[in-house]
Amino acid sequence: MSHLRIGLIGAGGIARAAHIPGWSSVPNAEIVAVCDVNKGVAESLARDFNIPHVFTDFRDLVKLDLAAVDICTPNRVHTPSVLAALGAGKHVLCEKPLAVTTGEVKAMAAAAKKAKRLLMTAQHIRFTDKITALKGFVQSGNIGDFYHARVHAVRRNLLPTSPGFIDDRLSGGGPCMDIGVHALDSALHIMDFPKPVRVTGKTAVNFAKGNDIPGAWGEWDRALFGVEDFASGFVHFENGATMVLEAAWLQHQSEGEDFSFHLFGKKGSVQWPSNTYSSAVNRVLIDGRAVPTAGLKAAHTEEIIAFAKAIREKKPSPVPVEQTLIVIAILEGIYRSAKAGREVRIKL
Ligand SMILES: NC(=O)c1ccc[n+]([C@@H]2O[C@H](COP(=O)([O-])OP(=O)(O)OC[C@H]3O[C@@H](n4cnc5c(N)ncnc54)[C@H](O)[C@@H]3O)[C@@H](O)[C@H]2O)c1
């Protein structure tokens, strides 16, 4: 089994909480370098996990002899670091959203093709026990062709407070990009990525500039807040299917967090995260549940294991960039439509 030397770019919350444990579950893989513009943050991670090389500029990290680079920086830093890593001949795993525009995703896809290296978006929810079970069930044909999807990523008072999320110059979007991307990617994964053709979107700042809703993750800088706190979209797909998408960090609702979808097919419908399905056979109404797959590790860990396996076995990316392009095209379309005040066409 080949030894995988890994470089980590961005040493903040998700790197420490999910990517470090993920890589520690991959046999014969080792994080040998870490980079963060905040030197103290990089040094602290290096100290805690015995990482020998520390950098503050990702262009220096990618010069090392590495199999792959794992990118956990704020959204708008993804593109330059992904392109630098691919340009240096490294495989790349990058946090979501891979980029905030389709132009950037296309540039990354071209760079990965040219370098003959894997590019994978860290859409960890695909690797959860529930989505894995639901995907297998839907692939059996029991739900039939999908004609509509309701997709939610809405929170009552969970607004991430760091500049990387609320400063548009770093994040490139609010909850639509941050959490809409999760629910949307998961729903499209189950639907087998139909091609979107048109979208109508709306974005708003309803509560984040005020003080009515107390953030459960603490206070945020109201002046720096430059993204939406609510977004909604209506999507038309080439095959005639439609989708309603809602994303929010702050709003009046009883659930602290509602990450969910309900996908309607001609033979039945499926819901996540309940994993329930509803159908009818011979005029008998049926309800059931796709039981979560037993024995899976944490989703980020499964995702990193899948990435390492694809590198070693020279297999395609477990999250193909063509699928990420569809996800980002829809999210970008919501912002474009909101700005234009009308429906917009999606060109992939
Ligand atoms: N999959 C998930 O569940 C999940 C959860 C949280 C965050 N994320 C994603 O992970 C990424 C990082 O989020 P986070 O919560 O760890 O944020 P964070 O703010 O905690 O950490 C980001 C780190 O990147 C560093 N950084 C900024 N610019 C840099 C640059 N040019 N070069 C190197 N380092 C740089 C910052 O100093 C910071 O330490 C975001 O894209 C976010 O959307 C994913």
Q: How far is CA 81 from CA 85, 164, 226, 251, 257, in A?
A: 6, 15, 23, 34, 31
Answer whether residue 343 shows pLDDT above 90.
Answer: yes
Sign of CA dihedral 63, 117, 125, 189: positive
Q: Is the peptide bond before 97 cis (omega within 30 degrees of 0)?
A: yes
- Report pLDDT for 34: 99
What is the biggest distance separating any 2 CA atoms in the chain, rounded to whole angstroms? Answer: 66
Measured between alpha carbons, how far is residue 338 from residues 175, 324, 335 in Å? 14, 21, 5
How remote is the CA of residue 181 from the centroid of ligand 1, in Å?
15
Supply the angle between the helices 321-340 and 181-191 in degrees, to the nearest 10. 120
Helix (H, G, I), strand (E, B) or coil at 306: helix
Query: Residue with the nearest Cα to atom 34 of ligand 1?
Result: 36
**Residue 10 Cβ < 6 Å to ligand 1:** yes
**Which phi and psi (to 5°) does residue 19 adopt?**
-80, -40
Quote the CA–CA distance of 294 and 337 in Å, as a whole number: 42
Q: Is the CB of 205 under 6 A from ligand 1?
A: no
Q: Report CA(12)–ligand 1 centroid distance (Å).
A: 5
Residue 324 backbone phi and psi in degrees, to 5: -60, -35
Ligand 1 mutation pick, 73, 79, 181, 319, max ligand atoms within 8 A of CB = 73
Mean pLDDT, the chain, as a whole number? 98
For 178-204, how does the pLDDT look when each residue is reduced to its tens digit (9 = 90+)?
999 999 999 999 999 999 999 999 999
Compute the distance from residue 138 Cα to the ligand 1 centre, in Å: 33
Q: 192 Cβ partners below 8 Å, 6+ apart?
A: none
Atom of ligand 1 at shortest range from CA of 78: 41
Which 3 state secondary structure label does DSSP give 55? strand
The number of beta carbons lying within 10 Å of the beta carbon of residue 298 is 16
Ligand 1 centroid–CA 74 distance in Å is: 4
Q: What pLDDT is recorded for position 1?
A: 83
The Å distance, Cα 70 to ligand 1 centre, comes to 11
37, 57, 165, best to mutate for ligand 1 pocket (most atoms within 8 Å of CB): 37
Distances (CA, A) of 99 to 31, 48, 265: 24, 30, 31
State in Å: Cα 36 to ligand 1 middle. 10
Q: Is the CB of 122 under 6 A from ligand 1?
A: yes
Distance 38 CA to ligand 1 centre (A): 12
pLDDT tens, residue by residue, 225-279? 999 999 999 999 999 999 999 999 999 999 999 999 999 999 999 999 999 999 9
Q: How many residues make up the chain in this entry? A: 348
State the closest ligand 1 atom to the C-alpha of 35, by its place in the atom list counted from 1: 33
User: Any idea which residue has 């909850």 for tokens?
Assistant: 175
Would the pTM of this model clear 0.85, i.e. be above it? yes
What are the tens digits of pLDDT across the range 9-40? 999 999 999 999 999 999 999 999 999 999 99
Residue whose CB lies within 8 A of the most ligand 1 atoms, among 53, 69, 79, 95, for a mutation test: 95
**pLDDT tens, position by position, 279-316:** 999 999 999 999 999 999 999 999 999 999 999 999 99
Distance between CA atoms of residues 290 and 288, nearest Å: 7
Q: What percent of the chain has pLDDT over 70?
A: 100
Model confidence at 338, pLDDT cuts 50, 70, 90, reads: very high
Q: Cα angle vertex 206, ends 272, 210, to 5°?
A: 125
**Could you identify the atom of ligand 1 that is nearest to the CA of residue 162?**
19
pLDDT in tens, 103-132: 999 999 999 999 999 999 999 999 999 999
Q: How many angstroms is it from 147 CA to the middle of ligand 1?
A: 36
